[in-house]
Amino acid sequence: MSAKFDPEDVQKVLDKHIEAGNLHSGWEDLWAKGDDVTLPWDKHNPNPTLEEILTTRRAILGGPLIDGSDGGPAPRRKKALVPGCGRGVDVLLLASFGYDAYGLEYSKSALEGCRKEEESAEQKYPVRDAAVGRGKVTWIQGDFFENDWVESLGLDGNQFDFIYDYTFFCALPPSMRPAWALRHSQILAPSPKGNLVCLEFPRHKDPLQHGPPYASPSEAYMEHLSHPGEKIAYDAKGYCKTNPLREPSQQGLERVAYWQPAKTHDFGTSEQGEVLDRVSIWRRR
């Protein structure tokens, strides 16, 4: 039976690396503990919300294929990116729907887990539409905030048609949120083809409680993605200050959909079973 890592233990490990100025090595330290340790955020299965998004929101997202009306070759598969992909379960689900799916991780050990998970992809993640088929899966070791991994794929900027952000925003210290938002605005394809899908969690955590996961209310996504790269003020209670009269920045993203999903992982629900998570979809203006 595997040991379970308490969230406070995770925080202690990461704090040690943050103090040393290298958060990334902290994640490698955690993932390197291997399958004998169950990390608290690792459910070994995609969040059911992702399947809901892919099956019920095609009117917004479209399908996994592009018909060439954008001037490019046709037909071709959309490129989907999962930053901080962990064990890679979301990447494999996206590929089963027909997307060319890219899993980005800084941790070498996490990517080893991704490749192991991929061995059972045909059984665990069957093709959803035989006419569309399965997309290609690519695992990338790299730093989300740098360009070298994009260049290694032979891609220019603004190439990803679908970006799925879940347990990545909340894993980053709030001081990194301006850079997080700016990076998304740089690699997301133009509207309406490009969609950033955020599964917002944990929305109801006290912001003064230590992370990760760091408290991630919907207002934080709105403020940062509307003003990528800009410093956002937070109050004494840890909530970002909102100003409805403030205009979005020129490179700011626009929220085009927002809803409460039907199901999510258990840690995204209340004790009464209410789903606390929310889904937001963002596009370039």
Q: Which of 119, 132, 186, 122 is nearest to 159 (CA)?
A: 186
Establish if 2 belongs to a structural domain. Answer: no
- Which domain, by its residues, includes 69? 41-284
Establish if 29 belongs to a structural domain. Answer: no
Establish if 6 belongs to a structural domain. Answer: no
- Tell me the two tokens of residue 13: 């490990």
d(CA 205, CA 130): 42
CB neighbour list of residue 207: distance below 8 Å, 6 or more residues apart: 214, 215, 217, 234, 237, 238, 239
**How do the pLDDT tens digits run along the chain, 285 residues long?**
344 445 566 666 666 645 555 666 667 777 777 654 556 667 889 999 999 999 999 999 999 999 877 666 678 999 999 999 999 999 999 999 999 999 999 989 999 999 999 999 999 999 999 999 999 999 999 999 999 999 999 987 779 999 999 999 998 989 999 999 999 999 999 999 999 999 999 999 999 988 888 999 999 999 999 999 999 999 999 999 998 888 999 999 999 999 999 999 998 999 999 999 999 999 999
> Considering the entire predicted model, what is its pTM?
0.91
d(CA 42, CA 55): 23
Establish if 8 belongs to a structural domain. Answer: no
Number of domains, the chain: 1
- For residue 102, the one-letter residue type is Y
Contact predicate 5/32, CB 8 Å = no
Establish if 173 belongs to a structural domain. Answer: yes
Domain of 136: which CATH number?
3.40.50.150
Q: Output the CA angle 272-255-151, nearest 5 degrees.
A: 110
Contact predicate 43/265, CB 8 Å = yes
Establish if 20 belongs to a structural domain. Answer: no
Establish if 30 belongs to a structural domain. Answer: no
